[in-house]
Structure 1
Amino acid sequence: MVKLVLAVTFLWLVTGITVPLYAQQSSNNLADLWRNVAENYAGIKAKQTATDAAALNERAVQSNHLPQIKAQAQSSYGTYNGAGGAFFPQAGFFNVSGDASLHGASLSSNSFGSAVVDWEVFSFGKLQNETQAARSLTNKASSEKETYVLTLKKLLSERYIKLLYNKTKLSWNEKTLERLDEIRLITSGLSKAGLKPAADSLLASSAYTQSLAQNDKLEGNSSAALIKLQELSGKEMIQFNSALSHFAKPMVYIEERTAIIVDSHPVLATLKHQTEFYRSKSAVEKSASLPSVHFLGGLSYKGSSINDNGYVSGKWEDGFSNNANNFLAGIGITWNITNVLTNNYKSNRLGKEAESVAHLHAQYEQAMQADLTAAQVQISQQFKQIEKTSTAVKQANDAYNMYLSRYKSGLIALNELLQIQLLFEVAENQHLEASRDYWMLVAYEAELTSDFNFLFTNL
């Protein structure tokens, strides 16, 4: 019997410990929701795809450093009449060579194959600048993705805060309903006993009905906030009970948090890479106005059905006879002199674009620094407000209980008790709004510092 009692006691202890732990683990905090967003949200995948595309473009630009190799092979069948005179070899012409001493068939068979190498070995840094411009675009795409991620973190935080605000307000309004329902029942009983006028019963019922209507509105707001959060987080079931207690009783603000906007912030990094891109493109245009040096090389094979004696065979297979093999190697310099002035204008325009973005970078950095300092001052003061409103709620609650006892004793009228109840409700709403504003400011500060650890850990 003793063993049975001990076994049952042990089972209850294990259950009592395990259930709270399970409930705590199953609760979703902001960090849990964010992990789900980071893994599954389509917007992040779209930004990652854009970053991958920029990286592939960079590799494509880098491939311009490689020698360009072109090859062709052909077999043709046609006439061979020659023609004297000079001409410009415009596009669309094909080459025919022959003379009047040839005899035999009127059509000849020909074969030809060639391979040409064109390697730009020196271009005054144009290829290097093009590669640098492509790398800047890749870095810019990566920074834009990080900026988007920061925006999503803030959006997730704001939607979570709104959900907690509406859920807490709904919970507190339900307590208000309980208080007003108690007043309504007390007033109804006093009215039936003839101790209070019937108007008091109607007034108490009206106050209860108004709060009931407010409850319907808050339930709609809570459901809408939950739907918004589910869309972003991708979770159908979200457990937030543990966060509700933290929402109205936030952790103290950490004074040692960073107060300087770092240059690596994704917004500033995006502008920095944009500036580098314009500068690199400006250098490309400058380099393009200078000559480029190419190494040229080629191999060719030519076969013909016309032999050395001038006899023309009409057979197709004879087009691979009487062949001639040649090679060519050399160095060439190409310089488009006309584009010198045009490229100079383009280079100057891109330089001005780089200068404009650099000024924009300085403006953003200055504005973000001011916003960060202002947000941290507001957060510190907001926390002080929360401490005071929390005290005000407790005092209003104690005062309401005292006045309720006096009302039950017939020492005060109903309108006085309802005024105290209204003051109690105002104190609760001010505390909830102060808590919501506090967390919203923390989310904004986290976006400015690109550090959401404090928010994700404490909410």
Structure 2
Amino acid sequence: MWNKPKPSLLLFTMLFSLSLSLSAQVLTLNEAVETALVNYGTIKAKNNYLSASKATLQQSKKEYLPNLNLSAQQDYGTVNGQNGPLYGMGLSVASSGLPLPQQNWNAAFGALYLTNVNWDFFAFGRARERIHVSASIVERDLSDLEQEKFQHSIRVAGAYLNLLVAQRLTQSWENNFERAAALKNVVATRAKNGLIPGVDSSLANAEVSNAKISITQARDFEQEQASVLARLMGITNQQFTLDTLFITKMPQSIDDSATVSKNHPLLKYYSNRVAVSNQQARYFQTLGLPVFSLFGVFQGRGAGFSSTYATDQHAYTQNYFEGIKPVRANYLLGIGATWNMTNLLRTRQQVLSQEFISSALKEEYQVIDQQIQNQLILSGNKIRNAVANFREAPIQVQSASDAYLQKSVLYKNGLSNIVDLTQALYILNRAETNRDIALSNLWQALLLKAAAAGDFGLFLNQ
């Protein structure tokens, strides 16, 4: 016979399971960033661009291979003044043979089999430079993908912080509503008993309505921030339970100095843009130089007409297999060089144009570098200001809370008026919202520092 479990054990099991379920639904910052990097469309697109560049690189490497053309054709026709029919691939009949005294319509089968090899074996590094261009484009697209991931991680973290502070502000306004509702009940009771004038009740009702409107506005702002985070994560669900533990404390290494990393993803991308342009200029220089080629041809030919057909017009066969059987063959091997000397004039301007593009890209690199340096300085200033506000916020909240409590006690004992009490209520609510904003600004400043330094780990590892 089984033992009936104790109610306390069942209750503990249910509560434990519920806590596990709720904790599993909490969206951490790491999870938000990882989800965004997997789902976001721009990152997927740049992944495809990178794959395309890699495929182009492989194609460039195969460009150096020789051209190998195989051709075969089988024909049927007459040979007036010709030996062996040959169709000109959409142009004209290309038969060959001696002229005959008169026209006839004798016809037979013929065939041509051809193998052609052509290899530009030396072009002063043209193939090599083309491969280098493709390789530099792969590096550029890879760095473009990495900088997009880095910047998107910063955007997601910023949206996560904005939603966190929006949720905390909503909670602060809900706390304010609870205080206003409690005040309304006290005022209504005292006004009903004739202890205070009725206007106090009207003021209390107005304060409650104002608190409700503020909650609605706070929720509207929270919903906007949830929509932004969902969009950046590439999902449609906008109901988030966020991790609120880390934002309530000061980051451990917030005062540590940081410098712009040489491997800053954004700077690396702009540097690779310059590298691609420089490599293209080197490739263009090879376009005006000669090309040395090896070539070879092997040809087999068959015909249903005999070699004596010129003297004996009956010396032919209409047998298909006899006509397509190769009876003559030729081969040719050679080496050659081609040089369009006017290409020197064209490529000179092409190289000059590309060098100007490289100079423009270098200037853009300098602009981004200056922006990042200024952003790093700004982040240091913002961190100092945010730390000062973070340390001052608890003092403001405690003082405002004490003042509200004192005014509430005085009002209940008839020693203060409703105006002083609502003013104290307003000051307390302002102190709580300032505290929430100070917490967010502290982490936002650290995020700005991580973005400027090019190291997202400065923020993520706190």
Matching of residue 181 in structure 1 with residue 181 in structure 2: yes
Cα 1:262/1:245, change in 2 over 3 Å: closer
Matching of residue 323 in structure 1 with residue 327 in structure 2: yes
How far apart are the structure 1 equivalents of 2:317 and 2:31?
81
For residues 217-262 of structure 1, what are the alpha-carbon distances to aligned partners after superposition, in whole Å with 9 as ceiling and x for unaligned? 2222223332333343337486535x334335443453335x2222
How far apart are the structure 1 equivalents of 2:225 and 2:54?
38
Tell me, yes or no, if the aligned pair for 2:37 and 2:152 is still in contact at 8 Å. no
- Give TM-score scaled by structure 2 length: 0.87
Cα 1:19/1:380, change in 2 over 3 Å: farther
Q: Percent identity?
A: 20
Matching of residue 269 in structure 1 with residue 268 in structure 2: yes
* Counterpart for residue 141 of structure 1: 141
Matching of residue 348 in structure 1 with residue 352 in structure 2: yes
How far apart are the structure 1 equivalents of 2:363 and 2:225?
40
Cα 1:249/1:180, change in 2 over 3 Å: farther
How far apart are the structure 2 equivalents of 1:193 and 1:9?
47
Q: Which amino acid aligns with 1:70?
A: N
Matching of residue 278 in structure 1 with residue 277 in structure 2: yes
> Does the residue aligned with 1:244 lie in a helix, a strand or coil?
coil
409-418 or 423-432, larger mean C-alpha shift = 423-432
* Counterpart for residue 85 of structure 2: none
* Counterpart for residue 298 of structure 2: 299
Tell me, yes or no, if the aligned pair for 2:191 and 2:201 is still in contact at 8 Å. yes
Instruction: Give me the CA root mean square deviation.
Output: 2.9
Cα 1:326/1:71, change in 2 over 3 Å: same
How far apart are the structure 1 equivalents of 2:300 and 2:201?
111
> Does the residue aligned with 1:65 lie in a helix, a strand or coil?
coil
Q: Which amino acid aligns with 1:62?
A: K
Tell me, yes or no, if the aligned pair for 1:253 and 1:379 is still in contact at 8 Å. no
Partner of residue 440 from structure 2, selected from 424, 429, 436: 436
1:288 deviation in Å?
0.9
199-208 or 383-392, larger mean C-alpha shift = 383-392
Q: Which amino acid aligns with 1:151?
A: Q
Cα 1:268/1:369, change in 2 over 3 Å: same
* Counterpart for residue 377 of structure 1: 381
Cα 1:354/1:81, change in 2 over 3 Å: farther
Tell me, yes or no, if the aligned pair for 2:304 and 2:324 is still in contact at 8 Å. yes
414-423 or 74-83, larger mean C-alpha shift = 74-83
1:172 deviation in Å?
0.7
Cα 1:128/1:32, change in 2 over 3 Å: same
> Does the residue aligned with 1:186 lie in a helix, a strand or coil?
helix
344-353 or 428-437, larger mean C-alpha shift = 428-437
* Counterpart for residue 155 of structure 1: 155
- Give TM-score scaled by structure 1 length: 0.88
Tell me, yes or no, if the aligned pair for 2:132 and 2:279 is still in contact at 8 Å. yes
* Counterpart for residue 370 of structure 2: 366
For residues 311-338 of structure 1, what are the alpha-carbon distances to aligned partners after superposition, in whole Å with 9 as ceiling and x for unaligned? 5525152322461112211111111112
* Counterpart for residue 60 of structure 2: 61
Q: Which amino acid aligns with 2:49?
A: A
For residues 19-46 of structure 1, what are the alpha-carbon distances to aligned partners after superposition, in whole Å with 9 as ceiling and x for unaligned? 7666545422110122222333333222
1:69 deviation in Å?
0.8
What is the aligned length? Answer: 447
Cα 1:281/1:92, change in 2 over 3 Å: farther
Q: Which amino acid aligns with 1:270?
A: Y
1:216 deviation in Å?
1.5
310-319 or 287-296, larger mean C-alpha shift = 310-319
* Counterpart for residue 37 of structure 2: 38
Q: Which amino acid aligns with 1:441?
A: A
121-130 or 156-165, larger mean C-alpha shift = 156-165
Cα 1:283/1:303, change in 2 over 3 Å: same
* Counterpart for residue 190 of structure 1: 190
Partner of residue 452 from structure 1, selected from 436, 456, 459: 456
Structure 2 unaligned segments of length 5 or more: list them. 83-87
374-383 or 226-235, larger mean C-alpha shift = 226-235
1:435 deviation in Å?
2.6
For residues 161-185 of structure 1, what are the alpha-carbon distances to aligned partners after superposition, in whole Å with 9 as ceiling and x for unaligned? 2221121111111111111112212
* Counterpart for residue 339 of structure 1: 343
15-24 or 369-378, larger mean C-alpha shift = 15-24
* Counterpart for residue 228 of structure 1: 228
The structure with higher relative contact order (CA 8 Å, sep 6+) is 1
